[in-house]
């Protein structure tokens, strides 16, 4: 295996939740306050998931006190303790930016009913740590190059 891919794989967490836009999540992020470290929970809606492998990140949006707050987390960051998926949402877009201008009823998202009819509080589905899509693609390109 390519050294750089190996280095990236080593830094990845073994299991990360399979997040999709529209999911409601609780992100347990570590925060340093003065000298001690505590865990802060940020609950909201995933409006975007980008990047592959080590660089995968997701943006969570929540509205507090009438103000929209969006935070982007690197899913493999050591500062993230865990991510709980509270609810799966049914959405048609990959990027839910349209929610930014909407409040209340307009900002609702239908719940996704999985084919196996997984209830909302079902255990978080874990994603196998397969190498990143981009890495696989690169690997294929390399194999092709070696053939020729």
Q: CA 10 to CA 54: how far, in whole Å?
A: 9
Query: Interface with another protein by CB under 8 A: which range of 3-11, 84-92, 103-111, 112-120?
Result: 3-11
Site for another protein in 30-69 (CB under 8 A): 30, 32, 54-55
The answer to the question of residue 1 lying near another protein (CB under 8 A) is no
Choose between 72 and 93: whose C-beta lies nearer to another protein.
72
Selected binder of another protein within 28, 48, 76, 87 (CB under 8 A): 76
The answer to the question of residue 109 lying near another protein (CB under 8 A) is no
Say if CB 68 and CB 102 are below 8 A apart: no
Query: Distance of CA 46 to CAs 2, 7, 8, 70, 88, Å?
Result: 33, 28, 24, 9, 10
The answer to the question of residue 134 lying near another protein (CB under 8 A) is no
The answer to the question of residue 9 lying near another protein (CB under 8 A) is no
Element (H, E) at 45: strand 36-50
Sites of contact with another protein (CB under 8 A): 3-4, 7-8, 11, 30, 32, 54-55, 74, 76-79
């Amino acid at each position: 295996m390519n050294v750089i891919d190996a280095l990236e794989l080593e830094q990845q967490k073994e299991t990360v939740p399979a997040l999709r836009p529209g999911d409601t999540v609780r992100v347990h992020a570590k925060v340093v306050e003065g000298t001690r470290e505590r865990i802060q929970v940020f609950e909201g809606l995933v409006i975007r998931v980008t990047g592959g492998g080590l660089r995968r990140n997701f943006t969570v949006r929540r509205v507090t006190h009438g103000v929209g707050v969006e935070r982007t987390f690197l899913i493999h960051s050591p500062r993230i303790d865990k991510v709980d998926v509270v609810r799966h949402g049914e959405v048609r877009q990959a990027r839910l930016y349209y929610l930014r201008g909407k409040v209340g009823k307009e900002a609702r998202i239908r719940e996704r009913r999985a084919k196996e009819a997984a209830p909302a509080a079902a255990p978080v589905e874990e994603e196998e740590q397969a190498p990143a899509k981009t890495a696989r693609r690169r690997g294929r390109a390399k194999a092709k190059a070696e053939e020729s």
